[in-house]
A and B are shown apart, each in its own frame.
Chain A
């Protein structure tokens, strides 16, 4: 057993050294290629196979990319992408802030948590897009409705994860805080929130996906601008090249947003990953 542990530790140390040393550049290049070649191959296949396509559904990739450069780098990005992103940003940030704040409130006021949990659970499980008609009736079809539905739908994953995470905080730490005479607010900031942070982050990531979905759906159902409107309008007017440009832009934007989230999460929770690695070693 002891030998096994020691051997594993040396292996881990060696792996760490390999990662940090400059000599691993070749290995790094190999790993990079590993991750990229299939991607490049698939794009190349799409390019070649669609090059002489006459299908109305699948126009040639080079036509799509030409159009994309023409349409999106000038007009559409400003008219259709920027407003969408602003709605998304406001709705998502509001949902995240309210979700964490409500989670903290539920942590303090237990009766509120217990009595509201069926309602919160119902709204979490309810497929958010069906609320769209109700929101249109309530708030019209303006920007406020879009921000509202994005925020409302994105709230529940963060809230539920915040509640769960705060409930899962190590009781020993809570007892310690009580023994040290920390005020509830101090306890919240220095014990509960950090303890729940990993799960809150998971909730926020889930919320981001819901927010992007509702951004697009709300523009598809009730709008005359926005990326969702652009794509659906192109489809309904059989401008399939335009439709494909919109799909590519939406895909890239979605990927960038998710990537940004992962990067921020990694920096913000660096202490947590460090702690976990220590425990596992």
Chain B
């Protein structure tokens, strides 16, 4: 086999791959359309594709849909920033001290395993079904796992780099910026990416169960308003999924851009592997 053959095959594959993906998606939609047309879908539980598409159009065509998207994103963003900010500060402080690390890790690991949903009733009791309740819940859910990531990131400093810094007399803030931050950054970035997804789930739960305004509450309201609103339930589910994709894409791109220097994102190594 010539050297060029695998390359050509790889190029063909690269062209083919998106086509197959689109084909798969189209096939799924056609299946939905056909099942609806022949009446195989339960009319009181699963709407047809055209009805759902129309409902998506109505939601995105009016003010209400966009307001709900905005409310969900607001709860998500406030909680995410609050939780992540606290986690980074606390995580760095814990990570820098051996004693603090050993003492607090078991507590944080334990807190991490408590299902965040358990906190929801307390938050609702104190704040009611408000935006404040929503972002408190989100922040709480973001804080524990991210703190652990930050702590391990700070502690993962390359001993050679650390010793070199000590020998060269790099101390204080400069040491933090030159040694601690670069070594913790990949851990923190991974933690942030995961936390962003968790935050959206919690924001939606706060709306679905806690009654805060947003997509989650709209879905429940639509479900309660009878069969005519059935396509709206599914339209809102699709829209929430789209919001999830948007958040994931933004976080992945941001991570790749900020950590371009890191070996995980160096294109050369990818090419070999």
Q: How far is the CA of A9 from the CA of B236 in the complex (A)?
A: 58
Considering only CB atoms and an 8 Å cut-off, how many residues of chain A contact the other chain? Answer: 54
Segment 111-165 of A: residues with Cβ below 8 Å from B: 111, 114-119, 121-123, 125-134, 136-138
Residues B219-255 near A (CB distance < 8 A)? 219-220, 222-223, 230, 233-234, 236-237, 240-241, 244-245, 248
A132 touches B208 (CB 8 A): yes
Contact (Cβ within 8 A) A213 B117: yes
Chain B interface helix/strand/loop/mixed = helix
Chain A contact residues, CB within 8 Å of chain B = 31, 34-39, 42, 57, 111, 114-119, 121-123, 125-134, 136-138, 209, 212-213, 216-217, 220-221, 228, 231-232, 234-235, 240, 243, 246-247, 250-251, 254-255, 258-259
Do A35 and B105 have beta carbons less than 8 Å apart? yes
Could you list 7 further interchain pairs (A-B, Cβ under 8 angstroms) beyond the known A114-B21, A254-B114?
A: A57-B125, A134-B234, A213-B115, A228-B117, A240-B125, A250-B115, A251-B118
Q: Inside 8 A of A129's CB, which chain B residues have their CB?
A: 201, 204-205, 208, 216
A-B contact pairs, 18 of them (CB 8 A): A39-B110, A57-B126, A111-B20, A118-B25, A127-B200, A129-B216, A131-B237, A134-B237, A137-B45, A217-B208, A234-B121, A235-B121, A235-B124, A243-B121, A243-B122, A246-B118, A254-B113, A254-B115
Kindly state whether residue B27 has any CB partner on chain A within 8 Å.
yes
Contact with A along B98-126 (1 / 0, CB 8 A): 00001111110010011111111110111
Q: Which residue of A lies closest to B220 (CB)?
A: A133
Question: Chain A residues with Cβ under 8 A from B200's Cβ?
Answer: 127
Instruction: Count A-B contacts at CB 8 Å.
Output: 154
Check if A217 sits within 8 Å of B205, measured CB to CB: yes
Residues of B near A128 (CB, < 8 A) are: 201
In the complex, the answer to whether A130 meets B236 with C-beta atoms within 8 Å is yes
Q: Is B42 an interface position by the 8 A CB rule?
A: yes
Question: Is B209 an interface residue, CB under 8 A from the partner?
Answer: yes
A207 to B117 CA separation, bound complex (whole angstroms): 16
Chain B residue at smallest Cβ distance from A228: B117
Find out whether the CB atom of B17 lies under 8 angstroms from the CB atom of A259: no
B contact residues around A133 at 8 Å (CB): 219-220, 222-223, 233, 237
Q: How far is the CB of A5 from chain B (nearest CB, A)?
A: 13
Complex interface: chain B residues within 8 A of A209 (CB): 115
What separation, in Å, do the CA atoms of A39 and B110 have in the docked complex?
10
CA distance A279 to B124 in the complex (A): 50
Q: How many residues of B contact A (CB 8 A)?
A: 56
Enumerate chain A residues within 8 angstroms of B44, measured Cβ to Cβ. 137
**Residues of A contacting B120 in the complex (Cβ-Cβ under 8 angstroms):** 220
Task: Specify the chain B residue showing the minimal Cβ separation from A235.
Answer: B121
Tell me whether B93 is interfacial, beta carbon within 8 Å.
no
B235, chain A: closest CB distance, angstroms: 11
Q: With both chains docked as a complex, state the minimum distance between the C-beta of A158 and any C-beta of chain B, in angstroms.
A: 16
Residues of A within 8 A of B187 (CB): none
Query: Do residues B24 and A125 form an inter-chain contact, with CB atoms below 8 A?
Result: no
The chain A residue sitting closest to B46, CB to CB, is A138
Given known A114-B24, A213-B201, A235-B121, contact A125–B248 (CB-CB < 8 A): yes
Verify B201–A117 contact, CB threshold 8 A: no
A125 & B245 in contact (Cβ 8 Å cutoff): yes
Q: Give B177-222 interface residues, CB cut-off 8 Å to A.
A: 197, 200-201, 203-205, 208-209, 215-216, 219-220, 222
Q: Contact at A38–B241, with CB atoms within 8 Å?
A: no
Q: In this assembly, does B89 line the interface, its C-beta being within 8 Å of a C-beta of chain A?
A: no
Tell me, yes or no, whether B34 is within 8 Å of chain A by CB: no
